[in-house]
């Protein structure tokens, strides 16, 4: 019989040490978890897993099998790439803005909803949710009941909080519980996992969609941690003059050609400093200029966004050109 690891969904095997699902021969009969997940859950071990073509595989399975989809995204990760993926799911669906405990109080739900329509063309239902604060944890169960549907897939990019939410929902159950492995390292969940103990509703967890590029490299665990906000985000504003620029994590350097005001919406652990032109950091990196209209966001995928008050030509030094998007701010002038 094929057995799947309850932590990540991989098929358990004892032939290939170090590969997905590996469990030693003596444990394979009784263990619920593969060796990797056992270590993630009990020793907080960091494991990076590469999954080939995962985005296409998820879409294929979901478009074929799912009756209903909840797609999780936290506010910092709303961008063209994630929203285009959401829109490409051809099944009835609801968008869940997850981890709302990190959203600054100044950003109201109705503002986000209106902006999702105007900026991204998203007109479906939107639910705001936080597992950490146990806020709207069971909203999706109630939502499915209303629709008369008894199963759903939980989708979203890696780290959106899918597995944590499902663990929380199933923790309320009287039935036997198992825990799905969760961590802030991408691809902790490697295959679909069915959970059947949620008030008669079948919930399927999924491996996350993967961003084409991220600000962190595969082995930059400390940076992955800093990028993931621990608490509510406190927006930080920098007034910049033409002669000063802003350096982010020694990876991105931004310089406005006019006096400007830049407000950062990202984890407050991210390292940001003000530098002057004679500072040579990143000067050797690729340099490009973005045209920024009045009151726009500069999105940096996998990190968050920066609200830029005045129209400017923004000079950027960075090897991570693919991470940037410019969009209209959700805040009125």
Ligand X SMILES: Nc1nc2c(ncn2[C@@H]2O[C@H](COP(=O)(O)OP(=O)(O)O)[C@@H](O)[C@H]2O)c(=O)[nH]1
Binding residues (CB under 5 A) for Mg ion: these are 162-163, 189
Beta strands in the chain (DSSP E): 69-74, 93-98, 126-128, 151-156, 193-198, 201-205, 236-240, 245-248, 252-256, 260-266, 272-275, 287-292, 296-300, 304-308, 312-317, 324-328
Among 23, 77, 164, 245, binds ligand X (CB under 6 A): 164
245 contact choice in ligand X, Mg ion, none (CB below 5 to 8 Å, kind-dependent): none
Distance CA 289, CA 313 (A): 6
Q: Provide, rounded to whole angstroms, the least separation between the CB of residue 37 and ligand X.
A: 12
Looking at the DSSP bridge assignments, the partners of residue 276 are none
Stretch that binds ligand X, among 140-148, 153-161, 235-243, 276-284 (CB under 6 A): 153-161
DSSP letter at 41? Answer: H
7 contact choice in Mg ion, ligand X, none (CB below 5 to 8 Å, kind-dependent): none
Distance CA 242, CA 254 (A): 11
Nearest CA among 77, 89, 60, 155 for reference residue 116? 77
Q: Provide, rounded to whole angstroms, the least separation between the CB of residue 107 and ligand X.
A: 15
Q: Provide, rounded to whole angstroms, the least separation between the CB of residue 119 and ligand X.
A: 23
Distance CA 163, CA 208 (A): 10
Residues 171-200, interacting with ligand X (CB under 6 A): 182-184, 188-189
Non-local CB neighbours of 278 within 8 Å, separated by 6+ positions: none
Q: Provide, rounded to whole angstroms, the least separation between the CB of residue 235 and ligand X.
A: 16
Can residue 163 be called a binding residue for ligand X (CB under 6 A)?
yes
Q: Provide, rounded to whole angstroms, the least separation between the CB of residue 194 and Mg ion.
A: 14
Looking at the DSSP bridge assignments, the partners of residue 256 are 314
156 contact choice in ligand X, Mg ion, none (CB below 5 to 8 Å, kind-dependent): ligand X
Total residues binding ligand X (CB under 6 A): 22
251 contact choice in ligand X, Mg ion, none (CB below 5 to 8 Å, kind-dependent): none
Stretch that binds ligand X, among 13-21, 60-68, 104-112, 159-167 (CB under 6 A): 159-167
Residues 39/47, Cβ–Cβ less than 8 Å: yes
Nearer to ligand X, 66 or 247 (CB): 66
Q: How many CB atoms lie within 10 A of CB 176?
A: 7
Stretch that binds ligand X, among 39-47, 93-101, 299-307, 323-331 (CB under 6 A): 93-101
158 contact choice in ligand X, Mg ion, none (CB below 5 to 8 Å, kind-dependent): ligand X
**CA angle in degrees (0–180, nearest 5) for 42-208-232:** 75
Can residue 102 be called a binding residue for ligand X (CB under 6 A)?
yes
Residues 265-304, interacting with ligand X (CB under 6 A): none
The contact mask relative to ligand X for 204-243 (x = CB under 6 A, - = no) is ----x-------------------x---------------
Q: Provide, rounded to whole angstroms, the least separation between the CB of residue 120 and Mg ion.
A: 24
Q: Provide, rounded to whole angstroms, the least separation between the CB of residue 207 and Mg ion.
A: 7
Distance CA 40, CA 52 (A): 21
Beta strands in 173-244 (DSSP E): 193-198, 201-205, 236-240
159 contact choice in Mg ion, ligand X, none (CB below 5 to 8 Å, kind-dependent): ligand X
Taking the alpha carbons at both ends of the chain, their separation in whole angstroms is 61
Can residue 160 be called a binding residue for ligand X (CB under 6 A)?
yes
Residue 9: is it exposed, middle or buried by C-beta count within 10 angstroms (0-12/13-18/19+)?
buried
Q: Provide, rounded to whole angstroms, the least separation between the CB of residue 269 and ligand X.
A: 12
DSSP string, 71-133: EEEEGGG-SHHHHHHHHT--S-EEEEEE-GGGS-TTS-HHHHHHHHHHHH---S-EEE-BTTT
Residues interacting with ligand X, by CB under 6 A? 98-99, 101-102, 130-132, 156, 158-164, 182-184, 188-189, 208, 228
């Amino acid at each position: 019989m094929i057995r799947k690891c309850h932590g990540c969904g991989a098929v358990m095997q004892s032939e290939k040490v170090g590969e997905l699902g590996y469990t030693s021969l003596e444990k394979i009969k009784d263990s619920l978890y593969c060796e990797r997940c056992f270590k993630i859950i009990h020793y907080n071990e960091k494991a990076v897993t590469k999954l080939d073509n995962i985005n296409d595989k998820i879409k294929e399975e979901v478009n074929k099998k799912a009756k209903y989809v909840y797609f999780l995204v936290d506010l910092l990760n709303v961008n063209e790439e994630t929203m285009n993926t959401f829109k490409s799911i051809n099944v009835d669906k609801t968008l869940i803005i997850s981890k709302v405990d990190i959203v600054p109080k100044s950003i109201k739900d109705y503002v986000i909803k209106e902006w999702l329509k105007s900026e991204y063309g998203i007109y479906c239902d939107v639910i705001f949710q936080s597992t950490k604060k146990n806020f709207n944890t069971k909203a999706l169960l109630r939502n499915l009941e209303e629709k008369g549907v008894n199963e759903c897939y939980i989708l979203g990019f890696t780290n959106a909080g899918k597995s944590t939410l499902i663990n929380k929902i199933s923790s309320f159950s009287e039935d036997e519980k198992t825990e799905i492995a969760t961590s802030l390292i991408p691809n902790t969940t490697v295959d679909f996992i069915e959970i059947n103990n949620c008030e008669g509703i079948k919930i399927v967890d999924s491996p996350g969609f993967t961003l084409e590029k991220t600000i962190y490299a595969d082995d930059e665990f400390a940076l992955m941690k800093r990028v993931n906000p621990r608490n509510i985000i406190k927006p930080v504003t920098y007034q910049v003059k033409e002669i000063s620029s802003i350096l982010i994590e020694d990876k991105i350097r931004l310089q406005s050609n006019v006096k400007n005001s830049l407000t950062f919406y990202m984890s407050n652990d991210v390292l940001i400093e003000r530098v002057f032109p004679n500072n040579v950091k990143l000067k050797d990196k690729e340099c490009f200029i973005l045209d920024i209209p009045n009151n726009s966001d500069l999105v940096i995928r996998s990190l968050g966004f920066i609200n830029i008050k005045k129209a400017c030509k923004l000079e950027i030094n960075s090897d991570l050109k693919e991470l940037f998007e410019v969009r209209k701010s959700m805040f009125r002038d």
